[in-house]
A = this chain, B = another copy of it.
Amino acid sequence: MTTESLLHLLRQTVGDAHVLTGAGLERYERDWQQRVHGKALAVVRPASTAEAAAVLAACAQARVAVVPQGGNTGLVAGGVPDASGTQVVLSLQRMQAVRAIDAHNMTMTVEAGCTLQQVQQAAAQAGLLFPLSLGSEGSCTIGGNLATNAGGTQVVRYGNARELCLGLEVVTAQGQIWEGLSGLRKDNTGYDLRDLFIGSEGTLGVITAATLRLYPQPVAQLTAWVALPDLQQASALLQLARQQLDAGLSGFEVMNQLALSLVAKHLPQLRPPMWQSQPWCVLLELSDSQSEQHARERLERLLEAALQQGLISDAIVAASVQQAQALWHVREGITLAQAQEGQNLKHDVSIAISAIPQFVQQANAALLQAWPDVRILTYGHLGDGNLHYNVQHPQGQTPAQFNARHGQAISETVYALVRRFGGSISAEHGIGALKRDTLPQYKSPVALQLMRAIKQALDPQALMNPGKVLAALPAQPGAQGGAE
């Protein structure tokens, strides 16, 4: 099939208005950090699963690669085309239906193009909670959240996107529809295809809809902010909080002084509290199923115990929802504040919670020995063992120059330690294009072999988001599609 016949077929499938070609497609072609600038053959915007399946079948027939895209808010350039101008971007953004809410079963079925915020709001309207929560929730889509197994701030209580999904609808590389939507909490009828597609970053098929797990809304939610002398104390506070609050602990975020100082510098209106007195602060959230008073008593009991044990030096508890939101805004402001300070070297790592203080100590020592003036921002989801361990250029130097010159060596230093501690070089951001060539150095060769075998089995023509997660492989000789 020629390119022209393919485009003609695609226009017949989704309508002329939804096959975009030519100039003006930058928002689909570059990642939002603007690290990668690609060029699409076309951007195709199906309105339904049937249309998406027809698009994939046509592309398979024409042997044209497909790059699925949601809100394009990813951090590893996993949803943008390469520069060849030969790849079709499949935008799911028109598929925004909330297909069903079953409040009694505590599930909802939504299409991939719903933003995370739309999903949260639809759940709230049914009196329930969809707990996934991230900075980009206003524009990221649930399809993208699942394709990348997004994490966020509530993982310590509710798990990652994976744990919040009960069933999927997927279009395969051959354009077939797997109708795996399900509100079942137990189903042992064969291989776990759901979890295979979740986190595969569009390289095995396209998620078009999902059945999500909902929770009762907390009756009361309280947020505390505490100052601490070191990470060891933060880690001990986490242990105490898990013991006393159990599932009531719904957030546990740690931030070092440098991270908060950048918020104070670039976003002074957010007024980060306590950061000048101690090297570390923790934001701790309690979600309670009984009452505001019960929540307050529990939280105060925890903080008193922590003060008595010498784990914390100071603490405040937000007195209102507004105050709690203001504290969360400080935490979420770190991303923007560090961007304003100049592009930095990001490391989204996870380590066993028990080893985190030691990891940070050794990583800091190794970096400061080789690059004495770098500034290390350490913050993140301590409750999940997930740190954003970011390295900012020395003051007085240009970020772009410094990163170009030292970036690779710095990241290798960090990742070597991550490996030594049995950690992960991508806790929640995924691999995409940006970490694809780094992955083989840190992942088990057997795991990579298994991944490649699965990729070839489900996408023998190598057309699904090629070059993401795994380096693009040539199509199997004679592969014509069909999963068998």
Q: How far is B191's CA from A204's CA once the two chains are assembled, in angstroms?
A: 10
* Closest beta carbon of chain B to A132's beta carbon, Å: 13
Contact with B along A193-232 (1 / 0, CB 8 A): 1011011100010000000000110100000000000000
A325 in the interface (beta carbon within 8 A): no
A239 in the interface (beta carbon within 8 A): yes
The verdict on A105 contacting B385 (CB below 8 Å), with A190-B469, A193-B450, A447-B193 known, is: yes
* Closest beta carbon of chain B to A187's beta carbon, Å: 4
The verdict on A186 contacting B450 (CB below 8 Å), with A200-B191, A242-B216 known, is: no
* Closest beta carbon of chain B to A143's beta carbon, Å: 16
Do B148 and A428 touch across chains, with their CB atoms under 8 A apart? Answer: no
Stretch of A3-11, A24-32, A43-51, A436-444 with 4 or more beta carbons under 8 angstroms from chain B: A436-444
Do A189 and B244 touch across chains, with their CB atoms under 8 A apart? Answer: no
Contact with B along A148-183 (1 / 0, CB 8 A): 110100010001101100000000100011111011
Number of interface residues of A (CB under 8 A): 96
Cβ 8 A contact of A384, one of B185, B215, B245: B185
Contacts of A192 in B (CB 8 A): 149, 162, 192, 195-196, 198-200
Stretch of A81-89, A269-277, A350-358 with 4 or more beta carbons under 8 angstroms from chain B: A350-358
Contacts of A195 in B (CB 8 A): 192, 195-196
Stretch of A91-99, A303-311, A405-413, A453-461 with 4 or more beta carbons under 8 angstroms from chain B: A453-461
Do A450 and B354 touch across chains, with their CB atoms under 8 A apart? Answer: no
Do B289 and A190 touch across chains, with their CB atoms under 8 A apart? Answer: no
Do B188 and A216 touch across chains, with their CB atoms under 8 A apart? Answer: no
Contacts of A188 in B (CB 8 A): 148-149, 151, 199, 424, 426-431
A106 in the interface (beta carbon within 8 A): yes
Contacts of A190 in B (CB 8 A): 199, 431, 439, 443, 447-448, 451, 469-470
A474 in the interface (beta carbon within 8 A): no
List the 6 shortest-distance A-B pairs measured between CB atoms, nearest first: A247-B247, A246-B289, A457-B457, A195-B195, A104-B354, A187-B424
Q: Which residues of A contact B (CB under 8 A)?
A: 102-107, 148-149, 151, 155, 159-160, 162-163, 172, 176-180, 182-193, 195-196, 198-200, 204, 215-216, 218, 235, 239, 242-248, 289-290, 298, 350-355, 381, 384-386, 422-431, 435, 439, 442-444, 446-458, 469-470, 482-484
13 example contacts (A-B, Cβ-Cβ < 8 A) are as follows A155-B186, A177-B446, A180-B447, A186-B424, A189-B431, A189-B442, A190-B448, A215-B246, A216-B243, A290-B298, A449-B483, A454-B454, A456-B457
